[in-house]
Structure 1
Amino acid sequence: MKFEEIDLSPDIMSGLADVNYTELTELQEEVLPAILEGKDALIKAEPGSDKIASFVIPALEMIDDREEQEGASVLVLTPNPDESQQIDELVWAMGYHAQIESASVDMDSDAEEQEEALKSNVQVISGNPGPLADITKKLRYVFRDVKLVVIDAADEMVKLGLQPKLKAILRRVLNDHQTVIYTEEMNEEVKELTKLYFEDAEIIGLEDSSHMLTEPPKVDGMLSHGYIYVPNRMKITTLMAHIEETPTDNCVIFTASKRGTDRLYRTLRKQNLKATSLHGKLSDEKRAQRFANFTNGDVQYLLVADIPAAEIDLQRVTQVINYDVPSNPDEYRYRADLVGSGKASRVVSLVSKQDRSDINELESSLKQAPKELELPEKVKQKLKERKKKKKNKKKSKNKKRHNNGRNKRKKKKKKDELELPRPSFDKLSGGRKGQAKKDQKSGVIGLIKELFS
């Protein structure tokens, strides 16, 4: 799409021509209409001029379209001083024909010059939260006529611990305004930050956007939910035993990976149980078909990997099993929300040794914490058999070790008996040498030799 196809003022179009902007990038095609329509927006974007232009262009159009204005109309907050200066330069270049002025309040600029810029009532202020919070506090400066606030690189703001400075600045914005937030990655901290500034927004470039800004549902107080501590190397055995003890009309089983769903699918099929699986790599057509098979009742078990529970449009599932415990309490809440209330409905988590920390976090964060459940009887029996087998094996090993020791002692004794020293002829008077000696001593010659020896 070309910029000529967008309804921009002649002055702004002249500014775009000055900097050789003729065609919109893919990001700009998505972002510009949302900002121009006055919508709040949460946008995923990487650093660079493409991102900066995506909010500078609609900001300039907004300013140029206003007949009367006092003070700053646009406030841009970014953690990077270089980026703050780039924003200032791009505003100056693109807004030249519209006579739009800007100032950068950043860590690398002179404080006195920045104070003077704020006092001169420029239309666009870009800045780093630290110095801007300090200067506005010193000058007792407030923003009375800001129409657009841009929070850039929100994930970086969080990493640098700039939320307090950010909040201090935005408390000085006294009027209602449009808010646009950019982030390179989405995490819980960024999500919490965004919830402070808007409840409903256009979400661009982020997957799993259906519940991004909504509060997770509360766990039904009547819901039965618990967890089973799984013995070592007995997770599938525990799952199958639990399924056998608690038959249900339909059941959703969440795993941590596609590999996990594939393994469980084969296990369920061997037991003649009808199952299907959903994961992130399925095409939309296959995903829809498998989902329909479950909702129509053609299959009893739905195995899910790599898909958040909030994206699964189900109601009144009889049972949810967390084959792998979710590390995020909100994900647990959404999974619990799939289950209808009633005695037959339940959420069960299988907790292996590596899942202990996750279940501990769930217990501390949920008002109604899950309770520990007993092992299925079949698993208890197998554990007994395993212990008995291990005990017999140890006994057999000890007996073998004892017999080996006794055999070694017998062999040594036998060997010692076989290797007794044979009598020497030299020490026996009847030996050959002894007889020779006796013979030598007899006779005259022997007597002479004995005398002269």
Structure 2
Amino acid sequence: MKFEDIKLSPNIMSGLQDVNYTELTELQEKALPKILEGSDALIKAAPGKSKNATFVIPALAKIDGKEEVEGTTTLILTPNSDEAQQIDELVWAAGYHAQVECASIDLDGSEEEQKASLNDAPQVIVANPGPLLSVMQDLRFIFRHIDYLVIDELDKLASLNLIPKVKNILKRVLSEHQTLIFTSELTDEVEAFAKDNLEDGIAIGFDENGVPPMLDKPPTVPQDISQGYIYVPNRMKITTLMAHIEESPNERAIIFTASKRGTDRLYKVLRKNNFKSTSLHDKLSDEKRAQRFANFTNGDVQFLLVGDLSATTMDIDNVKQVINYDVPEDPDEYRYRANLVSRGKASRIVSLVSKQDRNDINKLESELGQSPKELDLPEKVQQKLEERRKKKKESNNRRNGNKQKKQQQKKKKKEMELPRPSYEKLSGGKTGGDKKKDKKSGVIDMLKNLFS
């Protein structure tokens, strides 16, 4: 694909010829059309000229297309001075015919020159975050006209601990703008930053589909499905699940658990009760995962058990029921799960709420537009719960009866004991005395009694 195949002004085409750019690279073929349309984007790209041209060309095209340019409209943040200077040179060379002015505020420049460059308000500023933030703070400077923002090599900025400075710079950009983020790899920090700073963003270069789920805004919960939750009695979660699915025996359902261990346990229970099921978890190979998913979508099994995987990884929308065996902590995950359900009041998402899940369901109720409603315990569970209460009551009665019986036996035994003689009736009394004195005293008393 050649640059003539995309719509660029004569000034920009002349500039590209000056720098010997004639054909688009693979990266540019994927990215330029989307960028020129004005989309926010997260783009995977290795450092080099191809990457730099991918964001410089749209910047020049945007500036050249304006009748009047007021102040700095393009800001490019990059981690090191060499990269900043290379980008600056490319902007000057390719933007020569469009009369685009550019300044570099980097680690190699003097502070006074950088302050002068910022105050001169060139159309493009290429900067390292540290020096730019320092100058902006000293001058109390605010960008009011930025409409095109590039954050280059975000993964490297993160590794250099420059993300906080980037965020502080962005707080001083007050205008609406298109945002492009370039990175060599997708780390957790890059993903979180992109999610916070891209509006309706797309991703380029990460997978065949082009748009990874992390950039998708979570969907709203469909208004035409039923939402409910069941408060589960202590140690009766599996019993409650089985009673619930037995009340709708022919429905296909996806059951989400928090771990592989949870799916393994439920698989054994379902198989024991003659229900066909299969499981997905992050330990499976791609081939096995695809096969098991196909078994469910083809109707070969009734229940798909999902452990420790997000609903965003599943492309299905025709199940009648989603069951949260474990309530998700993230409301967005709940929304994604709800969107797996077919539309209509006959379809539903049901959560089993144990004592440990109360905080999670309260959080869902506060954040969702349409709150789930509490459902009655299945009749079978109510019966078992009543049986449990009766057994507990009988056990308590037996325990209390045995306790009373023991107390009665103890009392009866005490009543049957012979009275013990007091010290006064014993020979010698309380003070005792020697054996000789006791014997003499006893004979005299006997004689007195005999002749009385």
Q: Tell me if both proteins adopt one fold, taking TM over 0.5 as the criterion.
A: yes
Match of 1:400 in 2: 402
Equivalent residue runs for 1:176-255 within 5 Å: 178-180=180-182, 184-185=187-188, 190=193, 192-196=195-199, 199-202=201-204, 204=206, 210-255=212-257
Deviations 1:324-377 (A, max 9, x none): 112222222222222213343221111111212222222222222211110001
> 1:58 is aligned with what amino acid?
K
Residues 34 and 179 from structure 1, CA distance in 2 versus in 1: closer, same or farther, beyond 3 angstroms? farther
Whether 2:162 is the aligned partner of 1:169: answer: no
Contact kept, 8 Å, 2:31 with 2:54, in 1: the verdict is no
Q: Is the 8 A contact 2:142 2:173 kept in 1?
A: no
Question: Counterpart in 2 of 1:318?
Answer: 320
SS at match of 1:375: coil
- Asked if 1 retains the 8 angstrom alpha-carbon contact of 2:104 and 2:127, the reply is yes
* Correspondence for 1:19: none
Counterpart in the other structure of 1:115 = 115
Residue correspondence of structure 1 range 406-425 to structure 2 within 5 A:
406-409=408-411, 417=419, 424-425=426-427
Alignment equivalent of 1:269, drawn from 268, 271, 282: 271
Task: Give 3-state SS (helix, strand or coil) of 2:244's partner.
Answer: helix
The amino acid that maps onto 1:362 is: L
Whichever residue aligns with residue 228 of structure 2, its letter is G
CA distance in structure 1 between the partners assigned to 2:332 and 2:176 by the alignment: 33
Deviates more, 1:409-418 or 1:276-285: 409-418
Offset, 1:400: 2.8
Separation in 1 of the partners of 2:244 and 2:171? 50
CA contact (8 A) 1:75 1:124 kept: yes
User: Could you say what secondary structure the match of 1:222 adopts?
Assistant: coil
Letter in 2 for 1:114: Q
Which residues of structure 2 form unaligned runs of 5+?
A: 1-15, 20-24, 65-70, 94-101, 445-452
| Pair 1:434–1:97, CA change in 2 (3 A) | closer
Which one is further off, 364-373 or 209-218? 209-218
Match of 1:389 in 2: 391
Which residue does 1:24 correspond to in 2?
none
Write the distance in 1 (CA, Å) between the matches of 2:323 and 2:388: 26
1:325–1:350 Cα contact (<8 Å) kept: yes
Instruction: Kindly provide the CA deviation profile for residues 385-410 of structure 1, in whole angstroms up to 9, marking residues without a partner as x.
Output: 12222222222222333334444455
- Amino acid across the alignment from 2:116: E
Distance 1:404 1:203, change over 3 A: farther
Please point out which of 339, 342, 352 is paired with 1:340.
342
How far apart, in 2, do the equivalents of 1:264 and 1:439 lie?
92
Q: In the alignment, what sits opposite 1:303? A: 305
Q: Pick closer, same or farther for the CA change 1:318–1:217 going to 2, 3 Å.
A: same
What is the CA distance between 1:97 and its match in structure 2? Answer: 11
User: What SS does the aligned partner of 2:227 have?
Assistant: strand
Indicate the RMSD between aligned Cα atoms, in angstroms: 5.0
Separation in structure 2 between the aligned mates of residue 36 and residue 384 of structure 1, nearest angstrom: 67
Structure 1 portions without partners, runs of 5+: 1-8, 13-28, 45-50, 79-83, 441-453
For residues 328 and 395 of structure 1, do their structure 2 counterparts lie closer, same or farther at Cα, with a shift above 3 Å needed?
A: same
1:122-141 map, 5 Å: 124-128=126-130, 130-131=133-134, 134=137, 138=141
56, 59, 68: which one aligns with 2:52? 59
Checking the alignment, whether the CA contact within 8 Å between 2:260 and 2:307 is kept in structure 1 is yes
Cα displacement string for residues 204-263 of structure 1 (whole angstroms, at most 9, x for unaligned residues): 49x996322223333232212211111111111100011111223311111111111001
Which secondary structure does the structure 2 equivalent of 1:268 belong to?
Answer: helix
Alpha-carbon distance between aligned partners in 2 of 1:358 and 1:385, rounded to the nearest angstrom: 30
* TM-score normalised by L of structure 1: 0.68
In structure 2, how many angstroms separate the alpha carbons of the residues matched to 1:65 and 1:190? 23
Q: Is the alpha carbon distance of 1:162 and 1:237 closer, same or farther for their aligned partners in structure 2, counting shifts above 3 Å?
A: farther
- Whether the 8 Å CA contact 1:32–1:54 is kept in 2: the answer is no
Q: How has the CA–CA distance of structure 1 residues 416 and 132 changed in structure 2, closer, same or farther, with 3 Å as cutoff?
A: farther
Quote how far apart the aligned CAs of 1:290 are.
1.0
1:353 aligns with: 355
Cα deviation for residue 286 of structure 1 reads 0.9
Change (3 A) 1:323 1:96: same
TM-aligned CA distance change 1:190 to 1:96, over 3 Å: closer
State the one-letter code of the partner of 2:372.
P
Shift of 1:117: 4.0
Q: Is the 8 A contact 2:280 2:305 kept in 1?
A: yes
Aligned-residue offset at 1:424:
3.9
**One-letter code of the match for 1:251?**
A
SS at match of 2:317: coil
For the 8 Å contact 1:105–1:132, the answer to whether it is kept is no
Q: CA distance change for structure 1 residues 193 and 413 in 2, over 3 Å: closer, same or farther?
A: same
Compute the displacement of 1:321 (Å).
0.8
Identity in percent? 42
